[in-house]
């Protein structure tokens, strides 16, 4: 029995060795060296080539190396009926909580302007309202969003959350799918932690920006496809959007000539908000595969109908 692995070249060997040590009774094989395809029962993948999983006639389960499964579902030639498990865990949500807290605070306390003043030796004292007078709106109150929302509440922010099904969470003002406009109207710092689905594709667009208060900021740690890039540039250049922190992009790595790199009000981070660590992530994957093989319920299995 074998497990096929598709992961970017930089950490492929690390992943292979780690997975092999965590699941010694499955042979872990690299994507380009699959051996007899009939042996392969598990595929552990990040952005695999479309149609590539059809090579394995006995595939029992696909595991996404990551919380998002859009990179799996985008394949029009996925083997039919094979369940998909995502990878989440304490390590991943802790990293996301650090990232979101850091960048909300950075924008809240106007650190970009203070940093820009330093080379000019300007004593730029900016008085901002304290966190309880700043609203942070989180799009997506799932595994990541909920944890980040709680951290922002603990920092004192006035936290709002929007999800498909309206939630009831102490300390957070929650909005359901149809209440999107009311959520946006009150949000000064918007954090996108949505999954990418047909409903959320290009959701961060001109119409949405116009519904935010003047001077609002955007943090996108969901997916690059959530954001309409030209619309953000327009909203930044008009000043309606004060700043943007972007971790995910339509093309990754972000092309060298992309205008974001030089934009004074954009911070580019290289998809590191919650970068999966092969050891911590591998342990979660191994545990899920173990549950699956034992015929037990796997809580991290996704609902293909919902797409997340």
Residues lying near ligand NDP in the complex (CB under 6 A): 67-68, 88, 96, 140-145, 162-165, 177, 193-197, 199-200, 221-223, 247-248, 271, 273-275, 308
Q: How many CB atoms lie within 10 A of CB 81?
A: 6
112 binds ligand OXD (CB under 6 A): no
194 binds, among ligand NDP, ligand OXD, none (CB under 5 to 8 A by kind): ligand NDP
Task: Supply the DSSP symbol for 65.
Answer: S
Question: To the nearest whole angstrom, how small is the minimum distance from the Cβ of residue 59 to ligand OXD?
Answer: 21
Task: Locate 23 and state its tokens.
Answer: 């699941």
Tell me which residues in 218-247 interact with ligand OXD (CB under 6 A): none
What number of CA atoms fall less than 13 Å from residue 307's CA on the CB side? 14
308 binds, among ligand NDP, ligand OXD, none (CB under 5 to 8 A by kind): ligand NDP
| Interacting residues of 299 by C-beta distance below 8 A, sequence separation 6+ | none
Q: How many helices (H) and strands (E) does the chain have?
A: 9, 12
Query: Is residue 223 among the annotated active site residues?
Result: yes
Q: Which of 26, 40, 41, 66 binds ligand OXD (CB under 6 A)?
A: 66
In the complex with ligand OXD, the residue whose CB is nearer, 144 or 216, is 144
In the complex with ligand OXD, the residue whose CB is nearer, 2 or 221, is 221
Reference 87, options 58, 117, 65; nearest CA is 65
In the complex with ligand NDP, the residue whose CB is nearer, 188 or 200, is 200
Distances (CA, A) of 181 to 78, 144, 162, 176, 177: 36, 22, 10, 10, 10
Q: Which residues does the annotation mark as catalytic?
A: 223, 271
């Amino acid at each position: 029995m074998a497990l096929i692995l598709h992961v970017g070249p930089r950490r492929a060997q690390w992943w292979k060795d780690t997975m092999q040590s965590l699941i010694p009774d499955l042979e872990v094989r690299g994507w380009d060296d699959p051996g007899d395809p009939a042996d392969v029962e598990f595929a552990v993948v990040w952005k695999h080539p479309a149609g590539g999983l059809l090579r394995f006639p006995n595939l029992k389960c696909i595991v996404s190396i990551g919380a998002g499964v859009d990179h799996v579902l985008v394949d029009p030639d996925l083997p039919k009926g094979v369940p998909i498990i995502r990878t989440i865990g304490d390590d991943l949500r802790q990293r996301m909580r650090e990232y979101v807290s850091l960048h909300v605070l950075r924008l809240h306390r106007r650190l970009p302007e203070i940093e820009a003043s330093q080379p000019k030796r300007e004593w730029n004292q900016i008085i901002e309202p304290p966190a309880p007078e700043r609203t942070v709106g989180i799009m997506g109150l799932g595994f990541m969003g909920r944890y980040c929302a709680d951290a922002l509440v603990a920092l004192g922010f006035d936290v709002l959350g929007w999800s498909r099904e309206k939630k009831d969470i102490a300390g957070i003002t929650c909005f359901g799918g149809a209440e999107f406009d009311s959520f946006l109207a009150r949000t000064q710092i918007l954090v996108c932690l949505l999954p990418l689905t047909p409903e959320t594709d290009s959701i961060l667009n001109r119409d949405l920006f116009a519904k935010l208060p003047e001077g609002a900021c955007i943090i996108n740690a969901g997916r690059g496809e959530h954001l309409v890039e030209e619309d953000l540039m327009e909203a930044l250049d008009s000043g309606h959007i004060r700043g943007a922190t972007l971790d995910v992009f339509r093309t990754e790595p972000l092309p060298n000539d992309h205008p974001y790199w030089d934009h004074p009000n954009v911070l580019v981070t290289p998809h590191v908000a919650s970068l999966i660590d092969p050891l911590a992530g591998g342990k979660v994957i191994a545990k899920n595969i173990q549950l699956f093989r034992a015929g037990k319920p796997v809580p991290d299995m996704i609902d293909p109908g919902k797409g997340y």
